[in-house]
């Protein structure tokens, strides 16, 4: 059996081909009855895969179920008001994903007769659907021999074949996708193989901590295990350090009302609602001055604690003040805490301060 998987070498197709029946048998024995697996329509697979891109399965399930109760099909999604959509997505983060869902749904209705395309190539033409999601929908919902290659799958294949290419490279992702699709089955087994690879990477061939080789159906085939290199693979370029931004959050309060600002329609957390905030860490007098600059009539400012929120490329190191006011800024929205929690989409970055009101 060929093992030429040094950097730039060909992937071992024979090893991949031998892995397929083992993965399918293993998955049949261990698969969990997740909601989207019980009814794997294209719409259900699409929504679940977009949610799972940055969210643990256990955390995504209640969001998925609530989303489908409100938006049960593509037509309803295409017609939903954006504020309602953002509220449904609140807490999942990466809100551009939700906006792309609606954009794609509109195109499905206008260009595809209300039915999601069946092939990965056509699916990739829709907003927010990249190679991974397209492969997942095509294989799970339509039985197409299309691989869905994410970090979990790259790790499994890198270890199985002792692949030394950088998995952060698009070229490596393309190389693994091409090799997998040469051995992919069609029909129900296509979706089962996609989910088997995902599940193996999530629960057995794990990224942090010791790989659970004793529970792995591919242990006898795995070159990394044979060579004792599980901890060395996959090869991955270290990410750039995140930029740190200091911010001061102002809880502007008058009676039972708090002020809210809507973010710009483009950029980080676009279009969502937030508590007014400003660059830098201010002292109490600075917080009062910042409140005046917004158009409030502040009386006092008291600290309400620190908070940290980590985005993919930046960290917000926040401090906050409760600012009692005679008058809130006319240019900002005003609402009670109950209304803010039920009607406004507040991003997770401000959850620590939402708990303070």
Q: What is the mean pLDDT of each run of 10 residues along the chain (357 residues)?
A: 57 94 97 93 97 90 96 98 92 89 98 96 96 97 96 96 94 95 96 96 89 95 94 89 96 97 84 94 97 96 96 93 96 96 92 94
Q: In terms of pTM, does the model score above 0.75?
A: yes
Q: What pLDDT is stored for residue 47 in this prediction?
A: 98
Token representation of residue 221: 């085939």
Cis? peptide before 234, omega within 30° of 0: yes
Cα–Cα nearest to 108, from 100, 119, 99, 117: 117
Task: State yes or no: is 49 an active-site residue.
Answer: yes
- pLDDT value, residue 277: 96
Which of 49, 164, 199, 274 is an active site residue? 49
In the prediction, which pLDDT does 2 show? 46
């Amino acid at each position: 059996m060929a093992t030429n998987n040094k950097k730039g070498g060909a992937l071992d197709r024979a090893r991949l081909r031998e892995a397929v029946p083992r993965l399918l048998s293993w998955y049949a024995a261990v698969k969990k009855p997740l909601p989207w697996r019980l009814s794997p329509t294209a719409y259900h697979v699409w929504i679940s895969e977009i949610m799972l891109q940055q969210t643990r399965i256990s955390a995504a399930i209640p969001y998925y179920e609530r989303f489908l109760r409100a938006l049960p099909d593509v037509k309803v999604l295409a017609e939903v008001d954006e504020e309602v959509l953002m509220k449904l997505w609140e807490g999942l983060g990466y809100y551009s994903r939700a906006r792309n869902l609606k954009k794609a749904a509109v195109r499905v209705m206008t260009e595809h007769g209300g039915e999601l395309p069946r092939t990965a190539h056509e699916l990739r033409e829709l907003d927010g659907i990249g190679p991974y999601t397209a492969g997942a929908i095509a294989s799970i919902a339509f039985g197409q021999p299309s691989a869905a290659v994410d970090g979990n799958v790259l790790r499994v294949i890198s270890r199985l074949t002792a692949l030394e290419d950088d998995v952060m490279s698009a070229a490596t992702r393309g190389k693994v996708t091409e090799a997998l699709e040469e051995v992919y089955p069609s029909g129900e087994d296509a979706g089962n193989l996609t989910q088997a690879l995902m599940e193996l990477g999530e629960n057995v061939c794990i990224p942090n901590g010791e790989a659970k080789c004793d529970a792995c159906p591919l242990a006898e085939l795995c070159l990394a295990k044979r060579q004792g290199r599980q901890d060395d693979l996959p090869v991955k370029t270290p990410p750039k350090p995140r930029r740190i931004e200091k911010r001061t959050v102002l809880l502007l309060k008058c009676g039972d009302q708090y002020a809210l600002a809507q973010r710009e329609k483009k950029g980080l957390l676009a279009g969502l609602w937030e508590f007014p905030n400003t660059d830098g860490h201010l002292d109490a007098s600075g917080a009062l001055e910042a409140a005046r600059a917004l158009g409030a009539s502040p009386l006092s400012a008291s600290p309400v604690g620190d908070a940290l929120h980590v985005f993919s490329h930046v960290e917000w190191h926040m401090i906050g003040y409760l600012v009692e006011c005679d008058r809130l800024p006319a240019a900002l929205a005003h609402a009670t805490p109950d209304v803010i929690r039920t009607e406004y989409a507040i991003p997770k970055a401000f959850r620590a301060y939402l708990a303070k009101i």
